[in-house]
């Protein structure tokens, strides 16, 4: 299975742009980790990468329509590609990012593990770069639990995408709108035929199917997104912590941002 095939299979999920900004890098790195995998290893790696992509990852190249024009987001080679293991390096990271960010040592029961800066861009229908930018991807950990992720990217001056699913729930906290979503993901083999239930679930929203796994597997992923000082923050949880826990984590970030002098 090639990296190209992996991307083609994963792209069938057709996530909206906010989800798209969180997914492809870890898939690519997971697949590239084995230089010469066996056929069995490749199948296992593909399944792991697909699941990791929706549960713990940072980026995907995917297309979406904006005002009748096809645009896409994806990784983009830029000068810096850095990883940091200490929040003491946050001022250096902010200089590279070009925008202010708030990253805490802990969120709920999770503790900071690392953060990574990567180049990303919005492309037009001809794959020409419309706007490059740096994204910040932060990983938190807790004993016996799967990682929690916080992704940050600048709010871009581009038209809103069409067909974007409504959040499951919204709240206002200190002037910021918190958008919570709980999405269901179904991984299926290449020859899988969608059922009437699948089609109905897709039409209802917050249900995504990815082709390319060895067997049918399903999972759920929770998000809370909000904007602070022109920066998009998106928390991703795969432990089923629930809306209240994620709202509380978001409020911790917002309160810390205000203490730092942000709006």
pLDDT per position as a tens digit, 78-93? 888 889 999 999 999 9
Residue 131 has pLDDT above 70, yes or no: yes
Mean pLDDT of the chain: 76
Percentage of the chain modeled with pLDDT above 70: 68
Which two three-digit tokens encode residue 213?
A: 């796994």
Predicted local confidence at residue 192, as pLDDT: 92
41 vs 140: CA distance, rounded Å = 28
Q: What is the pLDDT of residues 14-41, one digit of tens each?
A: 444 444 444 444 444 333 433 344 444 4
Range of the domain at 98: 3-259
Predicted local confidence at residue 159, as pLDDT: 58
Q: What is the pLDDT of residues 185-235, one digit of tens each?
A: 888 888 999 999 999 988 888 788 877 778 888 888 898 999 999 999 999
Per-residue pLDDT, averaged over 153-178, amounts to: 79
Predicted local confidence at residue 72, as pLDDT: 65
How many domains does the chain contain in total?
1
Do the beta carbons of residue 66 and residue 158 sit within 8 Å?
yes
Its pTM stands at 0.72
Do the beta carbons of residue 137 and residue 153 sit within 8 Å?
no
Calculate the alpha carbon distances from 93 to 72, 121, 204 in Å.
26, 18, 40
Instruction: Give the HSE-up count for residue 48: Cα atoms under 13 Å, Cβ half-sphere.
Output: 14
Predicted local confidence at residue 49, as pLDDT: 44
């Amino acid at each position: 299975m090639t990296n190209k095939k992996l991307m083609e299979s994963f792209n069938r999920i057709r996530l909206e742009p906010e989800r798209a900004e969180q997914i492809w890098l870890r898939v690519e790195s997971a697949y590239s980790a084995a230089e010469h995998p066996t056929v069995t290893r490749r199948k296992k790696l593909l399944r792991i990468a697909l699941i990791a992509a929706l549960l713990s990852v940072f980026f995907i190249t995917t297309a979406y329509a904006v005002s009748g024009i096809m645009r896409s987001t994806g990784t983009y080679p830029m000068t810096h590609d850095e990883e940091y293991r200490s929040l003491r390096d946050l001022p250096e990271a902010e200089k590279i990012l070009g925008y202010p960010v708030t990253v805490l040592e802990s969120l709920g029961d999770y503790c900071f593990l690392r953060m990574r800066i990567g180049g990303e861009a919005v492309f037009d229908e001809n794959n020409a770069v419309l706007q490059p930018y740096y994204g910040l991807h932060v990983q938190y950990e807790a004993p016996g639990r799967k990682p929690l992720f916080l992704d940050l990217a600048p709010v871009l001056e581009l038209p809103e995408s069409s067909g974007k699913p409504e959040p499951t729930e919204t709240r206002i906290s200190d002037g910021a709108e918190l958008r919570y979503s709980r999405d269901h993901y179904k991984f299926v083999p290449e020859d899988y035929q969608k059922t009437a239930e699948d089609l109905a679930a897709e039409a209802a929203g917050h249900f995504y199917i990815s082709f390319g796994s060895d067997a049918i597997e399903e999972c759920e992923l929770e998000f809370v997104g909000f904007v602070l000082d022109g920066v998009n923050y998106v928390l991703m949880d795969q432990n089923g912590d629930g809306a209240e826990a994620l709202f509380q984590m978001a409020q911790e970030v917002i309160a810390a941002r205000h203490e730092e002098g942000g709006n």
